[in-house]
A and B are shown apart, each in its own frame.
Chain A
Amino acid sequence: KAGVTQTPRYLIKTRGQQVTLSCSPISGHRSVSWYQQTPGQGLQFLFEYFSETQRNKGNFPGRFSGRQFSNSRSEMNVSTLELGDSALYLCASSSGLAGGTNTGELFFGEGSRLTVL
């Protein structure tokens, strides 16, 4: 089955701009999680969406937001970009359902590498 698709793969923005990243999960998966990966902090959880609702949230400022559509595709937005927002943004999908065949495995996309100048 097709994997997790993230677009764009690379982008360059300047401070103060905003950016929107997109993620298409594996078909049938209803949970989409977003992580920020930097050399200094590693992978940090941003938020998780399940059935169009934010189900979990990490400790990031309100400039970071997201949403999920009825087809489970998700977008995340970062407003008023700062230099420190430069990172690889990873999207991960999973079934999001309790028990049953849910192994808890996250299927990651290749990421969107954001550079803020």
Chain B
Amino acid sequence: TQLLEQSPQFLSIQEGENLTVYCNSSSVFSSLQWYRQEPGEGPVLLVTVVTGGEVKKLKRLTFQFGDARKDSSLHITAAQTGDTGLYLCAGAPPGSIQGAQKLVFGQGTRLTINP
């Protein structure tokens, strides 16, 4: 069974600070996605990384896929209160049917940005 472990599970920081969330596994994934979920809503995709070592930036958010495609990180620069939410990483197991969606999700990191 493939597992994704996220750390930290909870993070509360002040506005303007930087933070990093980690997503680790002993298994290889063909791709990895990061989602953000707000209360009362379903998760919304932030980014998909596919290539080992890939780095993607989305405004103040930087996502990195590990060289071995077993881990990923999300770094937020100068956090804002609007960044508050549950951040989820999700991996697609190798060998998945093309186009099929059977993602393995991490437990999530509940991020609170205080004004």
Contact = CB atoms under 8 A, between A and B. Distances in A.
Interface of A: 4, 31, 33, 35, 41-45, 48, 50, 55-56, 58-59, 90, 92, 94-99, 102-111
A99 B102 contact: no
B61 interface: no
Contacts, number: 77
B47 to A, nearest CB: 10
Contact of B99 (A59, A95, A109): A95
B102 A45 contact: yes
Interface of B: 1, 31, 33, 40-45, 48, 88, 90, 92, 96-108
A58 to B, nearest CB: 8
Contacts of B100: 31, 48, 50, 55-56, 96
B71 to A, nearest CB: 17
A96 B106 contact: no
A96 B42 contact: no
25 contacts: A31-B100, A31-B101, A33-B101, A43-B90, A43-B108, A45-B102, A48-B100, A48-B101, A55-B97, A55-B100, A56-B97, A59-B1, A90-B43, A92-B42, A92-B101, A95-B99, A96-B99, A96-B101, A104-B92, A105-B33, A106-B33, A108-B41, A108-B43, A110-B41, A110-B42
A42 B106 contact: yes
**Most chain B CB within a 10 A radius of its CB, from A41, A44, A96:** A96
Contacts of A110: 40-42
